[in-house]
Amino acid sequence: MNQHSARYTSLEQRVVFITGGGSGIGAALTRAFHHQGARVVFVDINDAASQALVDELRAETGEAPCYHHCDIRDVASLQQVIAETGREFGPIHTLVNNAANDDRHDWREVDVAYWDERMSLNLRPMFFAAQAAAEQMIEAGGGSIINFGSVSVQMALGGLPAYVTAKAAAHGLTRSLARELGEHNIRVNTLVPGSVITERQLEKWISPEDEVAIQQRQCLKMRLEAEHIAPAVLFLASSESQAITGQELAVDAGWA
């Protein structure tokens, strides 16, 4: 974590559950919460990257987050890991629904099976993770759920209609759950990242020319990286945001 990052004492020893926490933005979140003294549990399907992250943090701090291999499309397995987390570490205080897949697709070529698979990855796990974690939060007297939206919704980006639809629904899910869970002191917000330059994005979608074009459109002429997303998520998890729910917080360098 950047030495200048804020320290949130309200996150110390809190149990934080992160989906897709082994690489990209998720790894930055795992690192950030770990350095806040939180008890981090994360799921992913990339065993190599996830184990490397666990080893890195253990070597650095003497302690390590807890990693479970879990395909979040398997709702029963996801909810089982969430239940096991509560039994082993105590009730989950913060749920970060980060995992997603933004593979490009032509609207002409989308069939029912592909559409359903995209929803099973980019939308369905958010609800069922929240359903399971919220029960623990109610027991503990409150908590924070942070759903990841996408700037693609505001910008109506082309080439990925199923992904954009799922992310638009995630924004609706946030507002609905904020209403449902507010009486239990559970806050639900959406974090909206911009064009975050991760290894995957560079490998699959963003060319050097694309990156130049994106920065030209951003108000802030900077390379947006995963480490820029983590501080906003920490804030939404901390008691400093105790009166904020049902909101969208964009970290996009002013792209949208």
Q: Are 22 and 50 in contact (CB under 8 A)?
A: yes
* Residue of 8, 67, 114, 163 with catalytic role: 163
Report the b/e string of 140-172 with b at 16+ CB within 10 A: beebbbbbbbbbbbbeebeebbbbbbbbbbbbe
Strand 143-148 and strand 39-44: the pairing is unpaired
Q: How far apart (Å, rounded) are the C-alpha atoms in residues 233 and 228?
A: 10
> What's the pLDDT score for residue 205?
63
Q: What's phi and psi for 17, nearest 5 deg?
A: -115, 125
Asked whether residue 102 is domain-assigned, the answer is yes
Asked whether residue 29 is domain-assigned, the answer is yes
Residue 206 pLDDT > 80: no
DSSP class of 93: E
Asked whether residue 116 is domain-assigned, the answer is yes
> What's the pLDDT score for residue 202?
64
- Which pLDDT band, with edges at 50, 70 and 90, does 3 fall under? very low
Give the count of domains, the chain. Answer: 1
Q: pTM (2 decimals)?
A: 0.93
Residue 1 pLDDT > 50: no
* Domain membership of residue 103 as a residue range: 10-251
Q: How far apart (Å, rounded) are the C-alpha atoms in residues 161 and 219?
A: 26
> What's the pLDDT score for residue 204?
62
Tokens of 37: 């003294």
> Per-residue pLDDT tens for 53-98?
999 999 999 999 999 999 999 999 999 999 999 999 999 999 999 9
Domain at 124, CATH number? 3.40.50.720
> Per-residue pLDDT tens for 180-197?
999 999 999 999 998 888
> Per-residue pLDDT tens for 150-179?
988 887 778 889 999 999 999 999 999 999
Q: Is 163 a catalytic residue?
A: yes
Asked whether residue 94 is domain-assigned, the answer is yes
Residue 211 pLDDT > 90: no
Residue 4 pLDDT > 70: no
Q: Which residue has the higher pLDDT, 158 or 16?
A: 16
Among 156, 149, 103, residue whose Cα is nearest residue 126:
149
Among 16, 41, 26, 83, residue whose Cα is nearest residue 238:
16
